[in-house]
Structure 1
């Protein structure tokens, strides 16, 4: 009987232990591109219209209130939040797992108002949409936009959070998807041999050993470059630190250094890195 009671106590305690150990993705809440365009918060970079987050943050109290409210709702559900205002100078390098994009508009009917909103979860490495939600709240006499927004999103927030968590759980199991390339700057060729293997074979062998479930795709290759898509890297290094594309490719760089091959790394955002082999340079 004592064993049965002890077993029951252990089983009742397990759910809380599992919940406490659940890893959550780090989120950064940002305004939707459509909201930025509708409110004049844009800029042109090489003839391409882009959202101007810094201008929006500095000039829209409404944006500050909405971002803060969404952040509070997600924090209540144990999602870590990265402060957008601290990352405005280089949002492309913001170390968040998922960008949570929010858009909204106010509907009026006499003295009453409501909010129509859209939520999108975007993988910060692939920029692919991985979660979505939208809806319109009930008409209310409330004049505060954060209150209207909270009333509107609460009904569907749990489903949206489940989508985010399911995506992150998939990353934990199958690895984060990134892209990488290896490019030669010099007279070296991918067919040159090192310790009995062609350079291209050395690179692919290292990738096979270090990707999750050996998952990667060689999309294009010549004697001077190799491009890889759908490269699945671990979310965390052996020491528990978060793994990003640059840290992952650094491992390949160290492997090539063992063979006397000099290289350097260039990154494009969080999800793309290029390893440049520069054989004319000495280590």
Structure 2
């Protein structure tokens, strides 16, 4: 009897401890952006057309109701305008989408394809919508919600139409489940980026220059650095020649050890510094060249 009581108390204590434990989960930060397939500027439509604003607002609400806190697209656009000293996105002389990505600094961009179909002079409407989750640093597609349409209704409440599309057949739940699963793999394996290191006619340093008593090539020392600094040593060489050293996949962490966001820009800064130090090992005094970063790719020209 005493043994049974002791066993019961032991189980109760363990259960109480487990109940008090908090499992640390990383919630991805997201922002919803509209896009079209017909060449129209979706961001301009969003800013100037209430229909589009109400649709994006309803998509945001669908995520909010399921535990996410999407970043506000309009506020991000406003901040880009202030930074770039412009009043309108129309005819901007820079890549607007890239500027918004950089300003938002979210883990994931959810692109919402939108198509509005109207009949009877605009009194009967339906909405087509699909969602695509993209990891911001690498531009890797994480999960897609196929195009789905609402039935035509005699209404101009476009938020209601979008809600019908997202909630029928549990579409939004399936999308979020797929997004979370893909994001979990990123937490485990790291974000995938690509790196291109090249030589031009103006480069003082060549990839096949030798350094040190071991006669290591510059390309070998760069590869060794990538191997040691890629997340969990996950990297893959695409090309290693006299003029080009490229990696079609290098994994970088999602967060730093202190929990801060770790981005492709952070890795770019580290690798460009490392390459400058390697190049100076040839005995030639060179300056660090500024990397170019675009759509998940770091491009560096040897000094």
TM superposition score normalised by structure 1: 0.80
Equivalent residue, structure 2, for 1:33: 36
Partner of 1:3: 10
Does the 8 Å CA contact 1:189/1:224 hold for their aligned counterparts? Answer: yes
Deviations 1:145-178 (A, max 9, x none): 1122113202211110011111111111111111
Aligned residue for 1:265, secondary structure, equals coil
Q: How does 1:189-228 map to 2 (within 5 A)?
A: 189-195=206-212, 196=214, 197-228=216-247
Match of 2:157 in 1: 144
- 2:290 matched to 1:271? no
Cross-structure match for 1:166: 181
Contact 2:150 2:162 in 1 (8 A): yes
Structure 1 residue 183 displacement after superposition: 2.4
Q: Deviations over 1:211-241 (max 9, x none)?
A: 1232222222332331211111111233432
| SS of residue in 1 equivalent to 2:289 | strand
TM-score, normalisation: structure 2: 0.75
Q: CA RMSD in A?
A: 2.7
Report the secondary structure of 2:27's partner residue: coil
Q: Residues 138 and 156 (structure 1 numbering): CA distance in 2 closer, same or farther, change over 3 Å? A: same
Distance in 2, matches of 1:191 and 1:207, equals 17
The residue aligned with 2:91 is none
Larger Rg over CA atoms: 2
Task: Give me the whole-angstrom Cα distance separating, in 1, the residues matched to 2:194 and 2:242.
Answer: 19
Query: Would you say the 8 A contact 1:24–1:168 is kept in 2?
Result: no
Structure 1's 242 and 151: CA in aligned 2 closer, same or farther, altered over 3 A? same
Change (3 A) 1:140 1:12: farther
Mapped to 2, the partners of 1:26 and 1:180 lie a distance apart of: 25
Match of 2:4 in 1: none
1:58-77 deviations in Å (ceiling 9; x for gaps):
32111111111111221222
Matching residue of 2:84: none
Q: Does 1:70 align with 2:87?
A: no
Q: Does 1:124 align with 2:130?
A: no
In structure 1, the partner of 2:106 is 96
CA contact (8 A) 2:28 2:108 kept: yes
Structure 1: segments with no counterpart, 5+ residues: 43-50, 279-283
Name the stretch that deviates more: 88-97 or 203-212.
88-97
Shift of 1:120: 1.8
Q: How many residues align?
A: 260
Do the aligned partners of residues 187 and 84 (structure 1) sit closer, same or farther apart at CA in structure 2, a change above 3 Å counting? same
- Structure 1 residue 198, shift from structure 2 partner: 1.5
Q: Greater CA deviation, 176-185 or 111-120?
A: 111-120
Secondary structure at the residue paired with 2:290?
strand
When residues 253 and 268 of structure 1 are mapped into structure 2, their CA distance, relative to the original with a 3 A threshold, is closer
